[in-house]
Amino acid sequence: MSLIGCDIVLIKNAWLNGGSVDLRVSDAIQEIGPHLTPAPGESVLDAGGGEVLPGLHDHHIHVFAAAAAYGSLDCDVGSGTVADCRDRLAQRLASATGSDWIRGVAYHEQQLGELDRWALDALCRDRPVRIQHRSGKLWVCNTLGLELLQLNASDQIAGVERDSQGRLNGRIVRNDALIAQRLEATGGGVQPDVQDLSRMLAQLGIVGVTDTSAHNNQQSQKDFDRLRRTGEILQRVELMGDDSLDSGYLKILLDADQLPPLDDLVQRINAARTKGRNVAFHCVSHLELVFALAALADAANPEAGFDRIEHGSVVNDEMALRLASLGMPVITQPGFIYTKGDRYLADLTGSELSDLYRFRGLQDLGVPVIASSDAPYGPVSPWQVISTAANRQTLKGIAVGPAERVSAEQALAGYLTPTSALHRQVSFAEANQVVAGTPADLCILQGKWSEVRDKAERAMVRATLIGGSVAFDSGSEP
Ligand SMILES: [Zn+2]
């Protein structure tokens, strides 16, 4: 029998704090005891001795992009010469299902060389194609795609690149909003399947997400509210976004190549402060981090203590001490070490490598560090992220920055920490609280944590409850 959607459940035979317990839950945990008797008609979920944890919260994810990515063509074509790689991509494009837009993700110039519309036309000219760089920063369209987006060489639009002769070259930098608007206006926008993504997140034990997309606005807020109401999104959603939002973090995308005037940035921060909002800075380089802290120093309430750094891909000790003094957490993505680490090893040297996606070293200097996914750009599974935080191993099994290893518990603690507590490092013991009276957001593992922790990437979830409702039940028949 499927328990999905059940709202009052007796969980039997769960493992909690080193002992076997039963839990009775409605929207909150009502009762925890050694042997609870099912009330008449009460649904029973047998945890099979699995560890019960608070549900996980992914503090950095892009919900719509992740949903779209799972229905997209993978343009990560492996190693070889550029010509070989382009052949492989041409084959994938030729065998893509459907007849309209092909949406590709995860292209990298080390494999495919620099792409523009003409290079893409050579690979596929009979269907509109748009391909996203693996950084998420850039889209490349073929000629048919550009036509469908109704972009003209005479338009002056931010991020729409031209070649030396003034022709559109198909590259659109950091303007996802433009693509989304044009797709919508021209009927080419296929709504990504958010429902599938949400169910997959539930399967991973995730009960809440923070969508960190910089372009989130009032409309996004309404969309998320609706998707939550209709149950298409099961998880609790926190939103950061642009200047139009009245709550949530203001997300500031810093790009070392195109830093804004400092005064403009300070003004944006101050305007957000007047709404009671805090600020989240996208910082992947040292320069971006220096700039973010300079802006904060000039802005109102620089010691609010609740601003945050996203990624913190490169943080040296000096910057870490400054972050520690401000109580600013780094929301990091150890998963990048796993998926991109082999490329980092080929591209970077010395301190570039040792300062990369630090974890332990930052914590030792007093910076709260929280692991998250950045899906779809990093691996979505918290269990893969936790495993990589503990072993720092790339796909090929080579360690990057082994001094930055933390325990699996420390990495998991971040997923169990509420957003309101990110500004101080919460220990696993403190974060891992399953007690009566708290919301029934639960992740029940298959097996005890002590049995799965050393191979966390293989952790399987027995069931996930969100507000007492069963969002995932591995025992339910398909
Ligand atoms: Zn992100």
DSSP for 218-286, please give it.
HHHHHHHHHHHHTTS--SEEEE-B-TT-SSSPEEEE--GGGPPPHHHHHHHHHHHHHTT--EEEEE-SH
Find, among 20, 128, 116, the residue nearest to 73 by Cα: 128
- pLDDT above 90: residue 155: no
Exposure on the CB side of residue 184, measured as CA atoms within 13 A? 8
The CA distance from 82 to 91, in Å, is 14
Whether 134 is in a domain gets the answer: yes
> What pLDDT score does 395 carry?
92
Q: Are residues 116 and 174 in the same domain?
A: yes
Residue 17 CB: number of other CB atoms within 10 A? 12
Say whether 197 sits in a helix, a strand or coil: helix
The CA distance from 395 to 337, in Å, is 8
Distance 133 CA to ligand 1 centre (A): 14
Distance 37 CA to ligand 1 centre (A): 46
**Cα radius of gyration rounded to whole Å, the chain:** 23
Distance 68 CA to ligand 1 centre (A): 15
Q: Could you report the per-residue pLDDT of 426-439, keeping only the tens digit for each?
A: 999 999 999 999 99
Confidence of residue 143 (pLDDT cuts 50, 70, 90): very high
Question: How many domains is the chain built from?
Answer: 3
Distance 77 CA to ligand 1 centre (A): 23
Q: Are residues 130 and 113 in the same domain?
A: yes
Distance 241 CA to ligand 1 centre (A): 11
In the numeric block, the tokens 């918290």 are attached to 382
Distance 61 CA to ligand 1 centre (A): 6
Q: Are residues 389 and 444 in the same domain?
A: no
Distance 401 CA to ligand 1 centre (A): 22
Contact 354, 401 (CB under 8 A): yes
Q: With b meaning 16 or more CB within 10 Å and e meaning fewer, what string describes 297-317?
A: eebeeeebebbbbbbbbbbee
Q: Could you report the per-residue pLDDT of 181-210, keeping only the tens digit for each?
A: 888 777 665 567 799 899 999 999 999 999
- pLDDT above 50: residue 478: no
Distance 87 CA to ligand 1 centre (A): 30
Distance 309 CA to ligand 1 centre (A): 11
Q: Are residues 181 and 200 in the same domain?
A: no
Contact 373, 204 (CB under 8 A): no
Instruction: Provide the CATH number for the domain around residue 439.
Output: 2.30.40.10
Distance 34 CA to ligand 1 centre (A): 43
Q: What is the pTM of this model?
A: 0.84
Whether 422 is in a domain gets the answer: no
Q: Are residues 90 and 231 in the same domain?
A: no
Measured over the CA atoms of residue 275, residue 278, residue 283 and residue 288, the dihedral's sign is positive
Instruction: Identify the helix (H) or strand (E) that includes residue 433.
Output: none
The CA distance from 171 to 162, in Å, is 8
Rounded to the nearest integer, the mean pLDDT of the chain is 92
Whether 254 is in a domain gets the answer: yes
Distance 298 CA to ligand 1 centre (A): 25
Q: Could you report the per-residue pLDDT of 74-124, keeping only the tens digit for each?
A: 999 988 899 999 999 999 999 888 778 999 998 999 999 999 999 999 999
Q: Are residues 181 and 216 in the same domain?
A: no
Confidence of residue 70 (pLDDT cuts 50, 70, 90): confident
Q: Which residues, other chains included, contact 213 with Cβ-Cβ below 8 Å and sequence gap of 6+? A: 62, 63, 64, 65, 220, 240, 241, 251
Q: What are phi and psi of 105, to 5 degrees?
A: -135, 160
Distance 127 CA to ligand 1 centre (A): 29
Q: What is the dihedral of CA 139, 336, 381, 17, to 10 degrees?
A: -150
Among 133, 167, 185, the domain-final residue is: 185
Q: With b meaning 16 or more CB within 10 Å and e meaning fewer, what string describes 57-81?
A: bbbbbbbbbbbbbeebbebebeeee
Among 185, 208, 240, the domain-final residue is: 185
Distance 49 CA to ligand 1 centre (A): 36
Distance 451 CA to ligand 1 centre (A): 32
Distance 331 CA to ligand 1 centre (A): 10
Distance 227 CA to ligand 1 centre (A): 21
Residue 41 belongs to what domain range?
Answer: 1-55+434-478
Contact 195, 44 (CB under 8 A): no
Q: Are residues 26 and 146 in the same domain?
A: no
Distance 380 CA to ligand 1 centre (A): 12
Find, among 271, 275, 291, the residue nearest to 283 by Cα: 291
Q: Are residues 167 and 207 in the same domain?
A: no
Distance 62 CA to ligand 1 centre (A): 6
